[in-house]
């Protein structure tokens, strides 16, 4: 069994370089960075619950994971999760390919549709149909990102244009039908965050 840690990197959390180095030294497998572009105010989604300050202040995962990659040699770095439906496809492909190269192939591309309706709609996406764009290859955001990344890898002795990342993991409460490029699921967490900085990382390979 391999263990990792998931965190909202902020200006008041432990730094990506410090955490990554400490985790690698202690034999951890991976570090996962959360993403929210912003938290709209006011909001209807979960309006009856108070979000932690980290949701408002979380830094961009591709920036923090680059810092983590540069501070380590073995530790896998991962998005937990990247909200692909809110991002430009070509720019995201560039980021994924670049980070995978900088890290020496250690990047895990965890993706999901998100839960904050106002945040998603601010990006021009219809909330009700946000999940459809990442589950039905080949016309999905992950598939388009793969095509734009144009990273050639060896896959069971067959050369194929697939994701720049080692793996693409879709956040889902249930198993997801997927093509060769998607290699696992990230079951949705049902428990409250554990401690002020960390939440339990869960990774189930398909």
Mean pLDDT of all residues in 15-31: 97
| Residue of 206 and 35 predicted with greater confidence | 35
The pLDDT confidence band at residue 44, using thresholds 50, 70 and 90, is confident
What pLDDT is recorded for position 47? 80
What pLDDT is recorded for position 200? 36
The pLDDT tens digits of the residues spanning 63-113 come to 999 999 999 999 999 999 899 889 888 888 889 889 999 999 999 988 888
The pLDDT confidence band at residue 59, using thresholds 50, 70 and 90, is very high
Domain count, the chain: 1
- Structure token pair of residue 26: 């202690």
Q: Name the CA dihedral angle for 66, 67, 70, 76, rounded to a multiple of 10 degrees.
A: -60
- How many degrees, rounded to 5, is the angle at CA 17 between CA 194 and CA 187? 40
CATH number of the domain bearing residue 47: 3.20.20.30
Total count of residues recorded for the chain: 206
The pLDDT tens digits of the residues spanning 109-166 come to 888 888 999 999 999 988 888 877 554 444 455 555 554 444 333 332 222 223 334 4
Single pTM value for the model: 0.72
Residue range of the domain that includes 149? 4-205
Helix residue ranges per DSSP H, the chain: 16-25, 53-57, 61-70, 89-102, 117-122, 141-149
- How many degrees, rounded to 5, is the angle at CA 62 between CA 117 and CA 206? 75
> Residue 119: which of 165, 61, 56, 59 has the closest Cα?
56
């Amino acid at each position: 069994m391999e263990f990792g840690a998931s965190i909202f990197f902020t200006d008041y959390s432990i730094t990506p370089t410090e955490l990554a180095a400490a985790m690698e030294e202690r034999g951890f497998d991976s570090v996962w960075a959360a993403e929210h572009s912003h938290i709209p105010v006011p909001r209807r989604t979960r309006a009856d619950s108070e979000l932690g300050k980290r949701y408002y202040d979380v830094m961009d995962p591709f920036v923090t994971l680059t810092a983590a990659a540069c501070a380590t040699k073995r530790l896998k770095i991962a998005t937990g999760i990247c909200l692909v439906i809110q991002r430009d496809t070509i720019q995201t492909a560039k980021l994924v390919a670049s980070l995978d190269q900088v890290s020496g192939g250690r990047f895990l591309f965890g993706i999901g549709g998100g839960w904050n309706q106002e945040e998603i709609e601010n990006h021009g996406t219809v909330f009700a149909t946000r999940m459809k764009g990442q589950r039905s290859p080949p016309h999905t955001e992950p598939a388009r990102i793969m095509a734009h990344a144009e990273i050639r890898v060896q896959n069971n002795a067959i050369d194929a244009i697939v994701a720049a990342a080692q793996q693409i993991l879709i956040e889902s409460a249930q198993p997801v039908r997927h093509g060769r490029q998607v290699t696992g699921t990230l079951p949705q967490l049902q428990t409250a965050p554990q401690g002020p900085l960390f939440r339990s990382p869960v990774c189930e390979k398909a």
